[in-house]
Amino acid sequence: MSEGHNDQCSGDMPGAGRSGVIPGAGLPGDNPGAGGRLVSLDVYRGLVMTLLVAEGAGVYHALGGLGIAWLEPVVAQFHHPAYEGFTFWDLIQPAFMFIVGVSMVFSMRKRAGQGQPWVARFRHILIRCAVLFLMGTGLHCVYAGALVWQLWNVLTQLSVTILIAFLIMELPILVQLLISLALIGATDLAYRFIQIEPYDQLYAAGANFGTYVDTLLMGQVNSDHWVTINCIPTAAHTIWGVLAGKVLIGGRGVNSKAMKIAAWGVLALVVGYGLNWLGYAPMVKRVCTPPFVVASGGWCVLALAVFYGMIDGLGCKRGGWVVAVVGTNSILIYLVTESLAHSWLNPKVGVFVVGGLSGAGVSEPTAALVNALVVWALLWGLCYWLYTKRAFVKV
């Protein structure tokens, strides 16, 4: 991995400065890099959001509907397992939370550099978390088509993890790491030792401590077995993002920083999968067991090392703008996708796409896939248009 740039790889993003960064803003950072955004972080965030938009557009569902045998195991990786297990799609939310932590370091450093005191930064974070919480609970109302009190949405979870990470981000790195592990461990101990019938089956679906807490907080349980207290162990993902961000702003070279972050990621993978293989706990995202939190965090950390080394180290930026523009308005596109894509945009576009293709003799599964791809492209086009207009929605 070189400290310089590879001319064959380099290629700035449209409208970007000579550094290749994307100006503007999106969830969660204000301006991560000096004079602009860190390109690798924009691409990482953009890829996560692009995959989320594809899900909202119905791309993965449509691919599964084709009935092609060799595609089935690939498509399965873009869906959560029924309960126990680990797929690629299980990494999306951890990556989202991890990226938030990385960006917070740059954002708070910029504010501190402008002379903003800690109290003012804390107030900013409190407002941000409150807005995210309201957006998350509001989305649940949109899903249900009625006013409901539900706390399972990623935005409500994120509002808690951001606050926790901010409150400890000035502490030494080792102390932050120990706190993150303590959050995972304390939650695990609660599952093991606070067992109230019929919620006394450790990590069993719908019969665990997390489900019991949901009955107290909301008077209901999630039919897909998600639990609200996932925000406690997954705060580790945002904290680890902060720790990685501190490495990125350090004085070492790109190669050294990428290798250090990669080593952290590999260690987390060994520990996470090791806990599972040793039988300590199953690998379950829906209740965020220790093996899942640590292993998924390891993948997120390792991915940052790869993006950072390849893009900001080797200079492989060409084509990165395609996904990065989605990340510049991540909060907006997430809300649009979750509230409108599947329920409104997909069927409206389908009137023309599916209707036209069906009339031309195209099979229904193929027409559905083309329709999903068109919706995906339209949502990407919205992000690109907003980017060209320098219109960025901040929280």
Helical pair 235-248 and 154-168, crossing angle rounded to 10 deg: 50
Neighbours of 167 (CB within 10 A): 12
State both tokens at 108: 């708070």
Kindly state whether residue 363 falls inside one of the protein's structural domains.
no
- DSSP letter assigned to residue 267: H
Res 373: pLDDT: 97
Res 63: pLDDT: 96
Instruction: Give the Cα separation of 328 and 14 in Å (integer).
Output: 13
Nearest partner of 268 among 392, 383, 181, 169, judged by Cα: 181
| Amino acid letter, residue 331 | I
Kindly state whether residue 343 falls inside one of the protein's structural domains.
no
Cβ–Cβ under 8 Å, residues 257 and 247: yes
Query: Sign of torsion, CA 334 304 296 177?
Result: negative
Res 251: pLDDT: 80
Res 20: pLDDT: 38
Count of structural domains within the chain: 1
Kindly state whether residue 25 falls inside one of the protein's structural domains.
no
Kindly state whether residue 197 falls inside one of the protein's structural domains.
yes
Query: Residue 84 — φ and ψ, nearest 5°?
Result: -85, 145
The mean pLDDT values, 10 residues at a time, for the chain of 395 residues are 35 38 37 58 96 96 95 96 96 97 95 95 97 96 94 96 97 97 98 95 96 97 97 98 95 90 98 98 98 98 97 89 93 92 92 94 95 97 95 82
3-class DSSP state for residue 199? Answer: strand
Question: Residue 189 belongs to what domain range?
Answer: 39-57+85-337
Q: What is the pLDDT of residues 165-184, one digit of tens each?
A: 999 999 999 999 999 999 99
State both tokens at 234: 């997954």
Token look-up 């019938």 returns 197
Res 343: pLDDT: 87
Kindly state whether residue 145 falls inside one of the protein's structural domains.
yes
Kindly state whether residue 230 falls inside one of the protein's structural domains.
yes
Kindly state whether residue 298 falls inside one of the protein's structural domains.
yes
Task: Establish how many alpha carbons lie within 13 A of residue 143's alpha carbon, considering only the half-sphere containing its beta carbon.
Answer: 16
Kindly state whether residue 348 falls inside one of the protein's structural domains.
no
